[in-house]
């Protein structure tokens, strides 16, 4: 039976007056992305952080040494009685030959840092600060990634209902807020890690100070009989936090704004529900690209953070800020000074973000499947 002309007209009229369909919301990573609790996300993030911290720590040491040297740290003055290795002088013998030339303690680049640290301090020194990196990475990433996930999901749901045009910017907002929370919580550990990586020991073979001793060394110049002054002195433990926020919040915003569209496109192409290898590959590729872009863009802010955290004069520390440091570097060293250490920073950030994000998403995937099967 054919529909009448009135029926056709009615349906045509109703279809023409119906509102256009709402825009398609961004594709979620997986069903696990909304069903997992904060605790499970934190466990996945902590596992990813441990793997990343161990693998990329040598690049972090190289970056910090180059930036500290540019700030005026003289590595040849730290070991006054140090003697040349045979490789430095044809006639010198370690402990008995002529003292090293200044070139032996001048770092010329990332590979040169690796070579000289291994020759002068031992292979293990490339992992100096790894304990601080692990102590820092586990709580930082454990707060950062789960907070980002939950905030991003909430902001996307909210904007899809009230302002769909703002939905693509959900990663930017979520990443900025989550990174701020993580930085404030873990800033003293970041301070200890930077100092541990920047400075050598005063005596060859001496045991390197740990996190606790390093932080006590920060506070000791400010010790006073006045209890109020001592409380104010604890501000030094958050030295460089402003520079760290100025570096990490834009880094996080740029990183997630770059990463999310890439990995969603890749996951859409390869599928993700039952393919752990696909989850790792897509997230590592997207994370690597996003880390390189964000690290390069924020390198001057990283230089400012390092210079503030290696400063040893308490009076100067309390009067420093990121803007002053950047202007000082620009006046004295120009653009080259602002991008000191950009090579190892970019070389570290790409694989670091790729490893953390890919392992995090893979562990989330595995935990979710195990929970669903049980």
What are 239-278's pLDDT values in tens digits?
A: 767 777 888 899 999 999 999 999 999 988 876 556 788 8
How much is the pLDDT for 238? 73
- Beta carbons of 340 and 67 less than 8 angstroms apart: yes
pLDDT tens by residue, 183-192: 888 888 777 7
Q: Band of the pLDDT at 53, cuts 50, 70, 90?
A: confident
Core vs surface per residue 328-366: b (16+ CB within 10 A) or e: ebeeeeeeebbbbbbbbbbbbbbbbbbbbbbbbbbbbbe
* Per-residue model confidence (pLDDT) at position 157: 93
The rounded distance, in Å, linking the Cα atoms of 330 and 368 is 49
Q: Shortest CA distance to 204 belongs to which of 302, 292, 112, 94? A: 94
Is the pLDDT assigned to residue 24 strictly greater than 60? no
CA distances (Å), origin 219, targets 60, 71, 189, 212, 238: 25, 22, 14, 11, 11
Residue 48 pLDDT level (bands cut at 50, 70, 90) = confident
| Residue 227 in this model has a pLDDT that exceeds 70 | no
Question: Taking all residues of the chain, what is their mean pLDDT, rounded to a whole number?
Answer: 76
Reported confidence tier of residue 76, pLDDT bands at 50, 70, 90:
low
pLDDT score of 94: 47
Counted residue by residue, the chain has a size of 374
CATH topology of domain 38-74+102-198+240-373: Mitochondrial carrier fold (1.50.40)
Residue 200: pLDDT band with limits 50, 70, 90: low
Question: Mean of the pLDDT values across residues 51-68?
Answer: 84
pLDDT, one tens digit per residue, over 107-165 is: 888 888 888 888 878 888 888 777 767 777 777 788 899 999 999 999 999 999 999 99
* For residue 32, pLDDT beyond 70: no
Nearest C-alpha neighbor of 61 from the set 136, 129, 118, 111: 129
């Amino acid at each position: 039976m054919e529909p009448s002309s009135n029926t056709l007209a009615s349906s045509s009229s109703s279809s023409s007056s119906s509102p256009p369909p709402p825009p398609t919301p961004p594709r979620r990573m997986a069903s696990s992305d909304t069903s997992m609790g904060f605790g499970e996300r934190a466990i996945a993030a902590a596992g990813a952080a441990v793997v990343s911290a161990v693998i990329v720590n040598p690049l972090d040491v190289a970056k910090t040494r180059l930036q500290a040297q540019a700030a005026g740290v003289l590595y040849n003055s730290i070991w006054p009685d140090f003697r040349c290795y045979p490789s430095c002088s044809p006639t010198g013998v370690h402990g008995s030959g002529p003292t090293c030339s200044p070139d032996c303690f001048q770092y010329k680049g990332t590979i040169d840092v690796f070579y000289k640290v291994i020759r002068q301090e031992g292979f293990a020194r490339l992992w100096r600060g790894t304990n601080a990196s692990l102590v820092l990475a586990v709580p930082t990433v454990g707060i950062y990634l789960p907070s980002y996930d939950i905030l991003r999901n909430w902001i996307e749901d909210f904007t899809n209902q009230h302002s769909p045009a703002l939905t693509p910017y959900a990663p930017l907002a979520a990443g900025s807020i989550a990174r701020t929370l993580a930085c404030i919580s873990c800033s003293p550990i970041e301070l200890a890690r930077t100092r541990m990586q920047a400075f050598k020991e005063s005596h060859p073979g001496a045991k390197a100070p740990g996190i606790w001793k390093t932080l006590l060394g920060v506070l000791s110049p400010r010790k006073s009989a006045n209890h109020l002054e001592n409380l104010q002195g604890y501000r030094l433990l958050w030295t460089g936090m402003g520079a760290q926020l100025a570096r990490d919040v834009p880094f996080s915003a740029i990183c997630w704004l770059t990463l999310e569209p890439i990995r969603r496109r890749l996951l859409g192409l390869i599928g993700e529900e039952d393919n752990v290898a696909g989850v790792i590959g897509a997230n590592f590729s997207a994370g690597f690209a996003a880390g390189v872009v964000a690290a390069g863009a924020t390198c001057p802010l990283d230089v400012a953070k390092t210079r503030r955290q290696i400063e040893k004069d308490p009076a100067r520390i309390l009067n420093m800020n990121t803007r002053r440091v950047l202007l000082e570097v620009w006046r004295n060293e120009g653009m080259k000074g602002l991008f000191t250490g950009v090579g190892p920073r970019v070389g570290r950030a790409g694989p670091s973000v790729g490893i953390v994000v890919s392992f995090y998403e893979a562990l989330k995937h595995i935990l979710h499947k195990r929970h669903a099967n049980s």
